[in-house]
Amino acid sequence: MLTNEEVKTAADFFTREIGRLAGEQPIRLMEVCGTHTVAIFKAGIRQLLPKSVELVSGPGCPVCVTPNEYLDTAIAYSKNPQVIITTFGDMLKVPGSTSSLAAQKAEGGDIRILYSPLESLEIAVANPHKKVIFLAVGFETTAPLAAATVLMAEKAGIKNFYVLSAHKLVPPALRALLMAEDIHVDGFLLPGHVSAVIGMAPYEFVVDEFQTPAVVAGFEPLDILQSIYLLVKQINEKTPKLENQYGRVALPAGNVVACQTLYKVYQRADAEWRGIGKLAGSGLAIREQYGNFDARTSIPVTVEATQEHVGCRCGQVLRGTILPTACPLFGKSCLPEHPVGSCMVSVEGTCAAWYKYGAGRWQG
Amino acid sequence: MSHERIQMAHGNGGKLSHDLVKNIMWPAFSNDILGAMNDGAQFTINGARLAFSTDSYVVKPLFFPGGDIGKLAVCGTVNDVAMNGALPLYLSAGFVLEEGFPMDSLKRIVASMQQAAAEAGVYIVTGDTKVVEKGAVDGIYINTAGIGQIMDGVQIAGQNARPGQDIILNGYLGEHALAVMSERHGLEFPQTVVSDCAPLNGLVAELLTAVPQIAVLRDPTRGGLATTLNEIASQSQVGIMLDESSIPVSPAVQAACDILGFDPLYLANEGKMIIFVDKEYTKEVLSIMLCHTYGRESRVIGEVVSKPSPLGQVGLRTRIGGVRLLDMLVSDQLPRIC
């Protein structure tokens, strides 16, 4: 581990080099991982960058890109007295069309917060007369664990465990962003954890087809500063390539076992992204073979008509076309304790991070 | 979305808890003593300055590494009284028991309370027991209240922070929350985290005897260091600037936080305190703390400043030299940890 002095020395070096290489031309870099969004704020990285280098957040928070229809479905299930919902905590407060899981929990819905999907199986065994539905939300990082849970349920003969999948894949979202005419990105900070699972190959099109610099980045302040430095250097030298700053964790081939587990249970499917729309092959649906674990096909439910929140601009925030501070609701009617849009809910949501770490509020 | 029913986040010591007190409790109970908004009430009876505080304990699980609900119920209230600059003297204990609760567990909890009371030098002098039907509570809930005498010449209040003061913390953050959490969810971290639950009144008495000029004392329990400092910044209308590289987080807690995505600055502690004191007394305060069992890792973590604007905010200077806001806790990291 580096000492505080060593960290500062390295940070000063990267900051100086970024300043030297960036020049006057505006450079727009996008991170597509909520953990990066938070880490950038936590470390106060923006203030260390020259004015010409702008960091924008993309659709990197899994809770945020989950559409209202999914939440409405989960909320509808939670009203069924035969159902126990299991979920990670940050789904709880996300507003659906007219309610939230937190509100349903307060009304008496049996909704339990997990730290691992495997806890769902214990709950299923302890409640044999209930149907336990796990809200499977997340990118390639969390999907293998959800898949492993299904496989364990099958092996253990647990028949009252179900998955409501909203899993999403990162590379199709990158392609959609690169193809969108209203979005301009000069370089991508790629998500280190996702890359640790899928490896480098799925990102090659970013450079090959779109000539856009891309760096797989770690999550420590110095990882991020170094990755920004690598991107700015590529831009300065006009040599776009795919680099791996996070090689100590993210191997070029990824995690083959995790991918095998993932695709044993799931297959690619079209998926709806909040703010981006329906993207071909960008989600994961449970394979027919494991269909008896799929909540959607196994447990009938009536879902209310989906409504979008008036005035909420989460969609544009998720595409990186506006900053959270440009949304008229930000910090006014949309606050972390009373979120209107999903981006204000999750700790990794762009709006929540901007608000929490003081953007627009802090003048220190 | 307005809240028509109580949600778990109303109990986490963060923003919604404050709203609950401000919007529901305060309009009903408002009086000058409550209005001071300290860790307990301070008042004078026949010339004796007293501090009085109460807390209810609903921790789940009841037993965790480094403590149990009984030890917590004594230490928590002793500390709340002590943070008023007082010597805690007497405690009450109210038990709400669930039908079917094992007698052996109750005996263990009561023995643990007595042990903690003995260490703190306080007596449990009155109490109450109630039993409710199975399912109406989760095993056992305990309420304690404590009363103590405020030390001579001491004026402790959340309103007393002033620019030029140092902010001192007595050790590693986040241990209690993670110890409870790991036990509850059966999580195995790279290293076992043990709760810091401890009575701090002995250390407080030593400090205030030597340095009665200490301005603010507060224990960063629910909501953690970040929330507690925000409360003080707001009460005193000052700015606070922390230095990230001097905030003590043990490798065990940091590793667990990295895995779970928690921020140690928001995790509850049960044996930590924050001291605000004029810089001229810092050396003396630290010399006393570093010799005490519960102060061996004490250090200055920041200072009170007259900027930034608006006042009432807490800033953090990061390891790489950036500055950012350190907000109050809003979302519930961990329910039912005390």
The answer as to whether A351 is a domain residue is yes
Whether A351 has its CB under 8 Å from any CB of chain B: the answer is no
Query: How many other C-beta atoms are found inside a 10 Å radius of the C-beta of residue A316?
Result: 16
Nearest partner of B10 among B239, B262, B223, B293, judged by Cα: B223
Is B319's CB within 8 Å of A43's CB?
A: yes
Whether B291 has its CB under 8 Å from any CB of chain A: the answer is no
Do A319 and A237 sit in the same domain of this protein?
no
Do A342 and A250 sit in the same domain of this protein?
no
Q: Give me the pLDDT at residue B2, please.
A: 60
Do A122 and A111 sit in the same domain of this protein?
yes
Pairing of strands A266-273, A242-244: unpaired
Q: Give me the pLDDT at residue A153, please.
A: 97
Is A115's CB within 8 Å of B185's CB?
A: yes
Please state, in angstroms and rounded to a whole number, the distance separating the CA atoms of residues A362 and A46: 13
CB distance A102 to A78 below 8 Å: no
Show the CA angle centred on residue A22, arms to residues A18 and A23, nearest 5°. 135
Is A44's CB within 8 Å of B2's CB?
A: no
CB distance A353 to A37 below 8 Å: yes
Is B324's CB within 8 Å of A41's CB?
A: yes
Give all strands (DSSP E) within chain A, no chain letters: 27-31, 53-57, 83-88, 111-114, 131-136, 161-165, 187-191, 214-217, 242-244, 266-273, 277-286
Number of CB pairs < 8 Å for A and B?
A: 113
B299's enclosing H/E stretch is: strand B299-305
Do A195 and A227 sit in the same domain of this protein?
yes
Is A12's CB within 8 Å of B321's CB?
A: yes
Dihedral angle, C-alpha B198, B200, B203, B205, nearest 10 °: -150
Please state, in angstroms and rounded to a whole number, the distance separating the CA atoms of residues A298 and A165: 13
A5's enclosing H/E stretch is: helix A4-22
Chain centroid to CA B255:
23
Domain count, chain A: 2
Listed by start position, the domains of chain B span: 8-150, 158-325
Measure in Å the smallest separation between the Cα of B202 and chain A Cα atoms.
33
Nearest partner of B122 among B72, B78, B86, B80, judged by Cα: B78
Is A48's CB within 8 Å of B320's CB?
A: yes
Whether A44 has its CB under 8 Å from any CB of chain B: the answer is yes
Do A267 and A318 sit in the same domain of this protein?
no
Is A347's CB within 8 Å of B261's CB?
A: yes
Cα distances (angstroms) measured from residue B301 to each of A152, A158, B22, B42, B248: 47, 51, 30, 28, 8
Please state, in angstroms and rounded to a whole number, the distance separating the CA atoms of residues B192 and B179: 8
pLDDT tens-digit series, residues A173-188: 999 999 999 999 999 9
Do A110 and A205 sit in the same domain of this protein?
yes
DSSP three-state, residue B75: helix
Is B313's CB within 8 Å of A100's CB?
A: no
Do A51 and A90 sit in the same domain of this protein?
yes
Measure in Å the smallest separation between the Cα of B197 and chain A Cα atoms.
24
- Strand partners of residue A148: none
Cα distances (angstroms) measured from residue A16 to each of A48, A185, A225, B322: 9, 23, 11, 14
For every one of its 338 residues, what pLDDT tens digit does chain B have, with 9 covering 90 and above? Answer: 467 889 888 887 778 888 899 999 999 999 999 988 777 899 999 999 999 999 999 999 999 999 999 999 999 999 999 999 999 999 999 999 999 999 999 999 999 999 999 999 999 999 999 999 999 999 999 999 999 999 999 999 999 999 999 999 999 999 999 999 999 888 887 788 999 999 999 999 999 999 999 999 999 998 899 999 999 999 999 999 999 999 999 999 998 888 787 889 999 999 999 999 999 999 999 999 999 999 999 999 999 998 765 688 899 999 999 888 998 876 666 667 77
**How would you list the strands of the sheet with A111-114, edge to edge?**
A111-114, A83-88, A131-136, A161-165
Whether B322 has its CB under 8 Å from any CB of chain A: the answer is yes
User: Which residue in chain B has the smallest CA separation from A348?
Assistant: B261
Chain centroid to CA A21:
30
Q: Which CATH number fits domain B8-150: 3.40.50.1820, 3.90.1150.10, 3.90.420.10, 3.30.1330.10?
A: 3.30.1330.10
User: Which residue in chain B has the smallest CA separation from A354?
Assistant: B325
Burial class (CB in 10 A: 0-12, 13-18, 19+), A191: buried
Range of the domain at A140: 24-311
Whether B315 has its CB under 8 Å from any CB of chain A: the answer is yes
Query: How many other C-beta atoms are found inside a 10 Å radius of the C-beta of residue A160?
Result: 19
B158-325: same fold as B8-150? no
Do A320 and A274 sit in the same domain of this protein?
no
Nearest partner of A167 among A319, A270, A26, judged by Cα: A270
Nearest to A221 among B7, B313, B320 (CB): B320
Cα distances (angstroms) measured from residue B295 to each of B208, B210, B268, B290: 14, 15, 17, 5
| Contact residues, chain B, for A95 at CB < 8 Å | 1
Whether B197 has its CB under 8 Å from any CB of chain A: the answer is no
Q: Give me the pLDDT at residue B262, please.
A: 86
Whether B332 has its CB under 8 Å from any CB of chain A: the answer is yes
Mean pLDDT of chain B: 93
What backbone phi and psi angles, to 5 degrees, belong to B166?
-90, 155
> Which residues, including other chains, have CB under 8 Å from residue A268's CB and lie 6 or more apart?
A169, A281, A282, A283, A284, A285
Is B324's CB within 8 Å of A8's CB?
A: no
Measure in Å the smallest separation between the Cα of B321 and chain A Cα atoms.
7
Do A287 and A329 sit in the same domain of this protein?
no
State the pTM of this model.
0.81
Token pair listed for A264: 């044993």
Nearest partner of A43 among A17, A14, A19, judged by Cα: A14
The answer as to whether A8 is a domain residue is no
Q: What is the ipTM of this complex?
A: 0.75
Query: How many other C-beta atoms are found inside a 10 Å radius of the C-beta of residue A95?
Result: 24
Going B131 to B134 to B136 to B140, the CA torsion angle's sign is positive
- In single-letter form, the type of residue at position A312 comes to C
The answer as to whether A364 is a domain residue is no
CB distance A200 to A252 below 8 Å: yes
| Contact residues, chain A, for B261 at CB < 8 Å | 35, 347
Cα distances (angstroms) measured from residue A150 to each of A133, A146, A155, A168: 11, 6, 9, 17
Range 49-108 of A in CB contact (< 8 A) with B? 89-90, 93, 95, 100, 102-103, 105-107
For every one of its 364 residues, what pLDDT tens digit does chain A have, with 9 covering 90 and above? Answer: 788 899 999 999 999 999 999 989 999 999 999 999 999 999 999 989 999 999 999 999 999 999 999 999 999 999 999 999 999 988 988 889 999 999 999 999 999 999 889 999 999 999 999 999 999 999 999 999 999 999 999 999 999 999 999 999 999 999 999 999 999 999 999 999 999 999 999 999 999 999 999 999 999 999 999 999 999 999 999 999 999 999 999 999 999 999 999 999 999 999 999 888 999 999 999 999 999 999 999 999 999 888 888 889 999 999 999 999 999 999 999 998 888 888 998 888 999 999 988 775 655 4
Helix axes B282-290, B201-210, angle to 10 degrees: 140
CATH number for the domain running over B158-325: 3.90.650.10
The answer as to whether A130 is a domain residue is yes
Query: Residue A145 is part of a domain; what is its CATH number?
Result: 3.40.50.11740
Nearest to B308 among A41, A95, A362 (CB): A362
Do A335 and A321 sit in the same domain of this protein?
yes
Q: Give me the pLDDT at residue B274, please.
A: 98
Do A293 and A197 sit in the same domain of this protein?
yes
Do A236 and A302 sit in the same domain of this protein?
yes
